[in-house]
Amino acid sequence: MSEGPEWFAPKRFGIGSGLPIAWQGWAVIAVYFALIALAVILFGNHSREGASIVLPATAVLILICARTTRGGWRWRNGEED
């Protein structure tokens, strides 16, 4: 098991995170969507400028999810942990 915080549940099938299981996970998701909305409001259809916000925000979200998923990221085939 992981020694760090557990903010997200693991996916039952495949690899990755499921829904948040702690308020910190929900806060991370809320901040991510706020940044995406900010990019849309500021830049609209100008994809290069919007990407300067969206791509780093997505990379940080993936990193946080990977480090705070209960049991870590690994392949799961539907069996209980």
9-52: pLDDT as tens digits = 999 899 989 999 999 999 999 999 999 999 999 888 777 888 88
Is 42 within a domain? yes
Q: Tokens 């990407």 — which residue?
A: 51
Domain range spanning residue 51?
22-69
pTM of the prediction?
A: 0.83
**Contact by Cβ (8 Å): 57, 36:** yes
Is 75 within a domain? no
The pLDDT value recorded for residue 17 is 92
Helix 47-68 with 23-43: angle, nearest 10 deg:
170
Give the chain's domain count: 1
User: Terminus-to-terminus CA distance in the chain, angstroms?
Assistant: 10
pLDDT band at residue 81 using 50, 70 and 90 as cut-offs = low
Could you give the CA distance from residue 25 to residue 65 in angstroms, rounded to a whole number? Answer: 8
CA atoms within 13 A on the CB side of 1: 7
Examine the pLDDT at 62 and tell me if it is beyond 70.
yes
Is 13 within a domain? no
